Amino acid sequence: MERENVTILDHPLIQHKISMLRDERTGTNEFRKLVEEIATLMGFEALRDLPLEDVEVKTPIETCMTPMIAGKKLAVVPILRAGLGMVNGILTLVPSAKVGHIGLCRNEETHEPEEYYCKLPHPIDQRTIVVVDPMLATGGSAIAAVDFIKARGGKNIKFMCIIAAPEGVERLMEAHPDIHLYVGHLDRCLNENAYIMPGLGDAGDRIFGTK
């Protein structure tokens, strides 16, 4: 799967932490911490093209022009619920980022996403938008989330997921070839219930300790 705007982030630290996430013995507390840490590590790479502007700074030696992140231009948009687990990981890097929310839930029979909430920072069209969700399975939720953001004017969209299935990557990039997708690990395939194999199970349940 070679696509210019799909980046697989195969850093050893990310891979190690994903393996810990997969382990069924990893409890809620540790799982949450790992999701947040992985989001920070992935965000470091996904945000490498954030726009900079030169600002004047007076050092103890002299005044100089030196680059800083330009304006309050970033929006982090988690897909509820599981995406919430990644938000603080990105805010660690850019504390001034605004946060939007998109509520989607997969119908357990059809596996199609159903919307229940959408609130985005205004104006959305001038921001770099990082959509976060740990799992990209069939791609239905990701496609719907990007549809909502575009319908509200969002343009510069990055999508960050920790684990993806090849089917979901293909569907998402066919539907939205203009976005950039960052993946922690590309897994083998989906099972008959549209769960990622080997995956990590239900990300939302593991983050929030439900089921």
In the complex, the smallest distance separating the C-beta of residue 162 from ligand URA, rounded to whole angstroms, is 10
Asked if 136 touches ligand PRP (CB under 6 A), the answer is: yes
Asked if 196 touches ligand URA (CB under 6 A), the answer is: yes
Which residues 50-79 are close enough to bind ligand PRP by CB under 6 A?
Answer: 79
Neighbours of 17 (CB within 10 A): 18
Q: What is the 3-state secondary structure (H, E, C) of the chain?
A: CCCCCEEECCCHHHHHHHHHHHCCCCCHHHHHHHHHHHHHHHHHHHCCCCCEEEEEEECCCCEEEEEEECCCCEEEEEEECCCHHHHHHHHCCCCCCEECEEEEEECCCCCCEEEEEEECCCCHHHCEEEEECCEECCCHHHHHHHHHHHHCCCCEEEEEEEEECHHHHHHHHHHCCCCEEEEEEECCEECCCCCEECCCCCHHHHHHCCC
Asked if 17 touches ligand PRP (CB under 6 A), the answer is: no
Which residues 177-196 are close enough to bind ligand PRP by CB under 6 A?
Answer: 194
Residue in 137, 146, 157, 181 binding ligand URA, rule: CB under 6 A: 137
Q: Which of 28, 66, 110, 210 is catalytic?
A: 110
User: Which CB atom, from 137 or from 149, has the smaller least distance to ligand URA?
Assistant: 137
106 catalytic? Reply is yes
Number of residues that bind ligand PRP (CB under 6 A): 24
Which residues 38-97 are close enough to bind ligand URA by CB under 6 A?
Answer: 82
Q: Which of 26, 147, 152, 205 is catalytic?
A: 205
Asked if 170 touches ligand URA (CB under 6 A), the answer is: no
Asked if 86 touches ligand PRP (CB under 6 A), the answer is: no
User: Binding segment for ligand URA among 37-45, 52-60, 85-93, 201-209 (CB under 6 A)?
Assistant: 201-209
The set of catalytic residues is: 106, 110, 202, 205
